[in-house]
Homo-oligomer: A and B are copies of this chain.
Amino acid sequence: MNFATLSRPPATPGDYDTLKHLLADYPGLIETADSYCWKMLSTAKLHSFDANTVLFHESMECKHLMLIVEGSARVYKESDEGREVTLYRVEPGQLCVHNLNNLVDGASYPVMAQAETAIRGLAIPRPEFHKALAESTSFRNYVLRTLTERLSHMADLITGLAFDRLDLRVACWLMQQFERSRSQPIELTHNEIAHELGTTREMVSRILKELEHKRCIQLARGRIYLQCKYTLRLVGEGKGKQRLK
């Protein structure tokens, strides 16, 4: 696993039309973008990373803000026993808020980020980022909105961990995945799912098997098929409390 190496040299996308095309997934940003915002975007360079590249880790400082144009990255924390929890995922239309941590005050916070797929992203240099923040209302709002969304999402994570049983969390997580994939099978191993939720592979296997028995899903090696979204939702909503086996 190589460390934030570029698989291709960065390109300068230059003109307005190219940029607009690249940022098609950022409606919240470009639809209201003002001239300052475009100016900043035109200074950005298009970078590419291979899948599994470590984008940043423990206390690495970063001098750019990345707007992901294609692919996705996972931001997570590790425990010393080898477990992991995913904090959030950065995909086109979003930005890595832990990046901001760095950009704002240079303080670094120990999280890991890794490309899940090959990634292309527009890297905005720190000074341009700050300038745009000052000049462009649309960019400012976009940044703030992303930040507060993340915050809400992390609050949900916290309540899940604090209050919900693991099987409910798995069921809810599955629901979300199937929604994102429009009911297409999920291509993850049990171990990867465990790393999403901060638990162990065995627990995930056990719970998935349960859900298969309840005919919510169907299991295959490295793949999960949706069988009945309604029963799955039912379980996820906590009706599974009286764990009917």
Q: How far is the CA of A149 from the CA of B53 in the complex (A)?
A: 26
The digit string for A156-188, where 1 denotes a CB below 8 A from any CB of B, is: 011101110000000000000000000000000
Query: Are A158 and B159 CB-contacts (below 8 A) given A100-B148, A145-B105?
Result: no
Interface contact A79-B133, CB-CB below 8 Å: no
Q: Tell me if A98 counts as interface (CB < 8 A to partner B).
A: yes
Q: Tell me if A92 counts as interface (CB < 8 A to partner B).
A: no
The digit string for A59-85, where 1 denotes a CB below 8 A from any CB of B, is: 000000000000000000101010101
Q: How many of these chains are in the complex?
A: 2
* In-complex Cβ contact of A141 among B85, B104, B150, B154 (8 A): B104
List of B residues within 8 angstroms of A140 by Cβ: 133-134, 140
Interface contact B162-A162, CB-CB below 8 Å: no
Sort chain A's interface into a size bin.
35 or more
Q: Distance in Å from the Cβ of A84 to the closest Cβ of chain B? A: 9
Query: Are A155 and B97 CB-contacts (below 8 A) given A163-B79, A198-B163?
Result: no
Q: Tell me if A2 counts as interface (CB < 8 A to partner B).
A: no
Q: Tell me if A152 counts as interface (CB < 8 A to partner B).
A: yes
The residue of chain B having its C-beta at the shortest distance from the C-beta of A77 within the complex is B159
List of B residues within 8 angstroms of A154 by Cβ: 151, 154-155, 158
Q: How far is the CA of A150 from the CA of B111 in the complex (A)?
A: 14
> Which residues on A are within 8 Å of B, measured CB to CB?
77, 79, 81, 83, 85, 87, 97-98, 100-101, 104-105, 107, 109, 111, 133-134, 137, 140-141, 143-145, 147-148, 150-152, 154-155, 157-159, 161-163, 198-199
Q: Enumerate 18 A-B pairs (CB-CB under 8 Å) in ascending A order.
A: A77-B162, A83-B162, A85-B158, A85-B159, A85-B162, A87-B155, A97-B148, A98-B148, A100-B144, A100-B148, A105-B145, A134-B137, A143-B144, A147-B147, A147-B151, A157-B158, A158-B161, A163-B198
